[in-house]
Amino acid sequence: MSREARVGIFVLVGLLVLTYFTFRVSKWGLIAERGYKLTVDFETAAGLEPKGDVKMAGVPIGKVEDIQLVGNRARLVLRVRPEVRIPVDSVASIQTQGLLGEKYVEILPGKDPQRMLPAGGQVTNTLTPTNLDEIVRKVEGISEDVKKFTSTLAETFGTEEGKQALGDILRDVRTATASLRNVVEGNEERFDRILVNIDRLSGDLSDISSANKEDVRVAIANLRAFSETLKTETPQLARKLEAMSDNVSVVVGENRENLKESIQNLKTASAKLDNTLDAAGKVITRIERGEGTIGKLVSDNTAYASLTDTLDGINRYVRKYDALRMTLVPWVEFQTQSSDWKYYLNLKIQPTADKYYLVGVVNDPKGKRTETTTVTSVNGGTPVETQQVELSNKWLFNALLAKQFSRVTLYGGIIESAGGLGLEYEIAKNRFNVGLQAYDFNRPGDNRAHLKLYGNYDIVKNLFITGGVDDFINRESQLRTPFIGFGIKFPDDDLKTVVGAVPLRP
């Protein structure tokens, strides 16, 4: 092999090795992407750079692959080695190697070894990272305060008066310590007992505070709030008490005679009260012996029995009233033959589940019939008799009694101001029913009875539609008409309230 070929192979191998390591250390390298990703959010990631270490128990387990801004928080994308599993309750924090070293992500492993974070999961528990700049600012503030304090001390004790005052303080302290030494030297045994008692007391207080830590904290907070209240309110309260005492003194001085008279009146009232109590005692004694009307009521069981019967009657009435159900049902029908509207308003009163009463009014556009007969003759010819029928609105009324047998309901009474009866069959319970009415059997002329075939369907609760054929066997074709309509059912809660408020007696 020639020298040129060997040099070319060496250069090619070098390029391949360089390419491998370039992809190995770069974030675009497919070779470097080993392990699985996790995410964690922090308030700030200041000082942390991509490719920073991810450690657990101080041991590197991965790298920081990317840092993103999500909302107002920093989101770190971590790549963790595939053999390392992290519990879901682990805690993540940003730490610094040394005081000024590089920052890295530290993961404190959780206590739940059964549940591990999956690939793409998120570490939800975090600790707020320490901001070195904020610490420096706080230290600068403390140093400024210390500088001001030392300046104040220098100004205070730097003068002759300050030095004199400091000397006096030191002499007083020396005298106090000498006196304290004399006291202690003659009472060592007593001080030993005091210290033992204090030690026991501190132990008891420690036990009490440990067992009632929360109560002690609440009590201290309450005392602090109470002291603040006293601090702010005491001067005002003192002024008010002083003003009130002055006012009381003035009032007492101005009404001294009235006060004497009031005290005398109280004595008189007390004596009268004693007499009243004596009289009340005598009355109670007579009642206990059964004397007088009240005594007889108390000692005789007849009054108790009468009262019990009355209450039973009231209870029966209340139970019947509670069982009573009333429904107000207004509806309207459009008669397609004549393009007229017919209006209904019925009140359904249901004392039991299988029986109800129905009263109501009907506004019938064909309720009033007026016949006009006209005789005319043209040029003296044969007279021609013309009869004209006009129909107009008329208010009619309903009053029915109904009885239910399973799905079939029979009812009868007055239908649109005429005697009649009807039958109704319930196809779907409380939803769809059909019926047939027959009434007004004594129509004028040779006309047939009024028959009405109808069906009602509840679209939703308390809202229904209706339809059918009205007066479908009438000899006059213009009176036979299909109809459609709708209505609303008002339940009895409001109606019972109104009826219950009406007095039974005027």
> Domain boundary at 95, 114, 129, which?
129
Q: Identify whether the C-beta of residue 402 lies closer than 8 Å to the C-beta of residue 357.
A: yes
B/e letters for 312-341, b = 16+ CB within 10 Å, e = fewer, are: eeeeeeeeeeeeebbbbbebbbbbeeeebe
Look up the domain containing 476 and give its range. Answer: 324-501
**Which residues are 230's β-sheet partners?**
none
Quote the CA–CA distance of 433 and 389 in Å, as a whole number. 36
Q: Identify whether the C-beta of residue 471 lies closer than 8 Å to the C-beta of residue 449.
A: no
Q: Residue 392: what pLDDT?
A: 66
Same domain, 5 and 124: no
Tens of each residue's pLDDT in the chain, 506 residues: 677 777 788 888 888 888 777 666 554 444 445 789 999 999 988 888 999 999 998 899 999 999 999 999 999 999 999 999 999 999 999 988 876 678 999 999 998 888 999 999 999 999 887 666 677 778 888 888 888 888 877 777 677 777 788 888 888 898 988 888 887 777 778 878 888 889 888 888 878 777 777 777 788 888 888 888 887 888 888 888 888 888 887 877 778 788 888 888 888 888 888 888 888 888 888 877 777 777 766 666 776 677 778 878 777 766 766 667 889 999 999 999 888 899 999 999 988 889 999 999 999 887 766 666 666 766 666 776 666 566 666 889 999 999 999 999 999 999 999 999 999 999 998 889 999 999 988 876 667 889 999 999 999 988 999 999 998 888 888 788 999 999 999 987 666 565 555 554 54
- Residue 185 is assigned to a structural domain of this protein: no
Question: Which stretch of DSSP H or E encloses residue 397?
Answer: strand 384-405
- Residue 360 is assigned to a structural domain of this protein: yes
Quote the CA–CA distance of 28 and 356 in Å, as a whole number. 85
Q: Residue 285: what pLDDT?
A: 83
* Of residues 422, 411, 490, the one with CA closest to residue 454: 422
- Residue 139 is assigned to a structural domain of this protein: no
Same domain, 1 and 121: no
End-to-end CA gap in the chain? 133
Same domain, 1 and 93: no
Cα 409 to Cα 363, 456, 458: the distances in Å are: 25, 14, 18
Same domain, 358 and 385: yes
Q: Identify whether the C-beta of residue 487 lies closer than 8 Å to the C-beta of residue 466.
A: yes
Q: Residue 165: what pLDDT?
A: 80
Same domain, 52 and 4: no
Same domain, 96 and 1: no
Q: Residue 467: what pLDDT?
A: 95
Same domain, 338 and 392: yes
- Residue 237 is assigned to a structural domain of this protein: no
| Residue 292 backbone class (left: φ over 0; alpha: ψ -120 to 50; beta: rest) | left
Same domain, 329 and 394: yes
Tokens 């004497």 belong to: 260
- Residue 293 is assigned to a structural domain of this protein: no
Q: What is the Rg, in whole angstroms, of the alpha carbon atoms belonging to the chain? A: 52
Quote the CA–CA distance of 280 and 488 in Å, as a whole number. 64
- Determine the number of helices (DSSP H) and then strands (DSSP E) in the chain: 9, 18
Give the domain CATH number at 448. 2.40.160
**Which residues are 357's β-sheet partners?**
349, 401
Q: Residue 320: what pLDDT?
A: 67
Q: Residue 31: what pLDDT?
A: 41
Counted domains in the chain: 3
Q: Which amino acid is at 301?
A: N
Tokens 């009866």 belong to: 421
Same domain, 334 and 393: yes
Cα 397 to Cα 342, 343, 363, 497: the distances in Å are: 13, 11, 9, 25
Q: Identify whether the C-beta of residue 433 lies closer than 8 Å to the C-beta of residue 423.
A: no
Three-state secondary-structure class, residue 439: strand
> Domain boundary at 129, 150, 181, which?
129
Same domain, 414 and 433: yes
Tokens 């009324």 belong to: 397
- Residue 122 is assigned to a structural domain of this protein: yes
Same domain, 19 and 119: no
Residue 474 C-alpha from the chain's centroid? 62
- Residue 386 is assigned to a structural domain of this protein: yes
Question: Which stretch of DSSP H or E encloses residue 365?
Answer: strand 355-376
Three-state secondary-structure class, residue 504: coil
Per residue, the 3-state secondary structure of 399-432, as one string, reads EEEEEEECCEEEEEEEECCEEEEEEEEEEECCCE
> Domain boundary at 129, 162, 193, which?
129
Q: Residue 183: what pLDDT?
A: 77
- Residue 66 is assigned to a structural domain of this protein: yes
Same domain, 20 and 116: no
